[in-house]
Structure 1
Amino acid sequence: MPETASATPVLPSSLPALSAQAERLIELGVHEIAGLPAAELRSFAEAAEDTADCDGALLAVHPDRAPASALAPLLRRDGKAGFIVVDMPDVDLFAPLDTVPLPDAPLYLLTGVDRGDRMADWSPNEALPALTAEARTPLLITEGIHWVLQQPTVLERNHCFMTIGSRLRKANGALDARTPAIWISNGTGRDGRERRDAPKVGWCWAGNRHTWLGFASATGRRSQGS
């Protein structure tokens, strides 16, 4: 397990401008994964930048177009590629909760993204109703990956985050107890020593608490013009 959380986390810097975020996704080939022309990402970002309330927004590709399994390997930290834990082969089956509606568009924005450090040492079962009461929406796995792709400093050792907007529903309708998170590997166990310090997409039990995991959330999602 990661080390005990330090007393003072380093606050992440601001997100790049939306036009720069679009270029970053194009550079990484995310538009090709999503089956979108590069020009569509650029035009979406340019139009959104003309909107008054888009400052600090995160550009995201709909998970139906760019799943977590395709995005996670694009993450980098200290020159090491991101990965998904071996016991999460079903990562792309983790879908948005019923209370997390997504825009019906290939590209959309998230506003007011926050790492949720204040909820460190809360369980997912405790954090979700608290976020809902604050009119905040939990991030999806893919949204969390998009955030780290654009703002790598948001993933800080001992101050990482969960993305509990994505959950797996069993055949009987009940939620799987695994809740996804993004953190930094210590290179132990099945991760492999060579992956120490690499970005890692994994999971924790819904009822467990971890001092080193906050709960990433946003104030909302919107497509262009909404």
Structure 2
Amino acid sequence: MPHALSPLSDAGAEFDRQVNNLVTRDYPALAGLDAGEFEALVAPLRAEAVALAAAPDASYDLEAGRVPFLLVIARDVVPVEETMPRTTLHGGRLPGFVDRSFEPGSLERFVATEETEAGGLSAYLLYGVERGEEFCGVVPETAMAAIAGRGRGLLTIEEGVALITHFPEVLVKNKCFSLGGSRCGDRRVPAIWISKKAPKLGWCWAGNPHTWLGMASAAGRRVAGE
């Protein structure tokens, strides 16, 4: 669904758009809720979204891959295996997919790192989001260290899916991104890029740079009432 309003000019309307975006993609049913129950789950975050969009570090520039906030639904509520097929490229029709490089049962082991503090959250806002194309061609380990040095956090798999679900424009050729906030204890780093004219969730090695793969990050996460 197109978003005619900038989140910075009308954050409340942008939050409502993101909620409706998930409803139209069957998130309530996938979570075992009806639309009203789902909206009640996320409604307390609306005021937080308005406040975040007014913050000094809020930025909205889709061409540069920056958005002020995202509504994120954790995999414990709706599994990644269900959310990825509900993504498409901007203007595309082919559904996103999880790459076969994830051997059976391995995707579940890619969990949020302690540093993200995202573990245990069900519905929340990610804010100050950047696609991180400045790190294209940089070794992922180096990129992750640079981001940590700036006091920013790495995106998890769910957050990467949320980014391309709400803003498919940010996933473009040669400007794709890794998701260092989800790890499984080995050298693999999840990433989302374009394959077969659709978004693909795969992984790359932490020591191998790719010219078309940056490192996504965010200023932080917010739950209702913080």
Please, what TM-score do these two structures have when normalized by structure 1?
Answer: 0.81
Determine the C-alpha separation between the residues in 2 that align with 1:14 and 1:164.
Answer: 28
Residue 191 of structure 1 corresponds to none
Indicate the percent of aligned positions where both proteins have the same amino acid. Answer: 35
Instruction: Go from structure 1 to structure 2 and tell me whether the alpha carbon gap of 1:57 and 1:204 turns closer, same or farther (over 3 Å shift).
Output: same
Which residue identity is paired with 2:172? Answer: E
Residue 133 of structure 1 corresponds to 149
Gaps of 5+ in 1: 1-12, 169-174, 186-195
Query: What secondary structure is seen at the aligned counterpart in 2 of 1:54?
Result: helix
Instruction: Go from structure 1 to structure 2 and tell me whether the alpha carbon gap of 1:40 and 1:106 turns closer, same or farther (over 3 Å shift).
Output: farther
Determine the C-alpha separation between the residues in 2 that align with 1:14 and 1:92.
Answer: 35
Determine the C-alpha separation between the residues in 2 that align with 1:87 and 1:102.
Answer: 25
Instruction: Go from structure 1 to structure 2 and tell me whether the alpha carbon gap of 1:40 and 1:103 turns closer, same or farther (over 3 Å shift).
Output: farther
Determine the C-alpha separation between the residues in 2 that align with 1:103 and 1:179.
Answer: 17
Does the CA-based 8 Å contact 2:112-2:119 persist in structure 1? no
Residue 64 of structure 1 corresponds to 76
Does the CA-based 8 Å contact 1:44-1:224 persist in structure 2? no
Report how many aligned residue pairs link the two structures. Answer: 198
Residue 186 of structure 2 corresponds to 176
Between stretches 54-63 and 154-163, larger displacement belongs to 54-63
RMSD over aligned Cα atoms? 1.9
Q: CA deviation at 1:47?
A: 3.7
Determine the C-alpha separation between the residues in 1 that align with 2:121 and 2:98.
Answer: 26
Determine the C-alpha separation between the residues in 2 that align with 1:14 and 1:161.
Answer: 23
Does the CA-based 8 Å contact 1:19-1:42 persist in structure 2? no
Q: CA deviation at 1:180?
A: 0.5
Q: CA deviation at 1:214?
A: 1.1
Query: Residues 89-140 of structure 1, C-alpha deviation per residue, up to 9 Å, x if partnerless?
Result: 3222200112111264421000101001111111221111211111111001
Does the CA-based 8 Å contact 2:72-2:123 persist in structure 1? yes
Query: Residues 184-221 of structure 1, C-alpha deviation per residue, up to 9 Å, x if partnerless?
Result: 01xxxxxxxxxx21111111111010111111111001
Determine the C-alpha separation between the residues in 2 that align with 1:30 and 1:44.
Answer: 12
Gaps of 5+ in 2: 8-12, 54-67
Q: Pick from 44, 53, 61: which aligns with 2:51?
A: 53
Residue 219 of structure 2 corresponds to 219
Which residue identity is paired with 1:53? Answer: A
Structure with the larger RCO, 1 or 2 (CA within 8 Å, 6+ apart) = 1
Determine the C-alpha separation between the residues in 1 that align with 2:191 and 2:6.
Answer: 21
Instruction: Go from structure 1 to structure 2 and tell me whether the alpha carbon gap of 1:75 and 1:135 turns closer, same or farther (over 3 Å shift).
Output: same
The correspondence of residues 1-226 of structure 1 with structure 2, limited to 5 A, is 17-43=14-40, 45-51=42-48, 52-55=50-53, 56-77=68-89, 78-89=92-103, 90-102=106-118, 104-168=120-184, 175-185=185-195, 196-226=196-226
Determine the C-alpha separation between the residues in 2 that align with 1:14 and 1:203.
Answer: 32
Between stretches 196-205 and 27-36, larger displacement belongs to 27-36
Does the CA-based 8 Å contact 1:166-1:180 persist in structure 2? yes
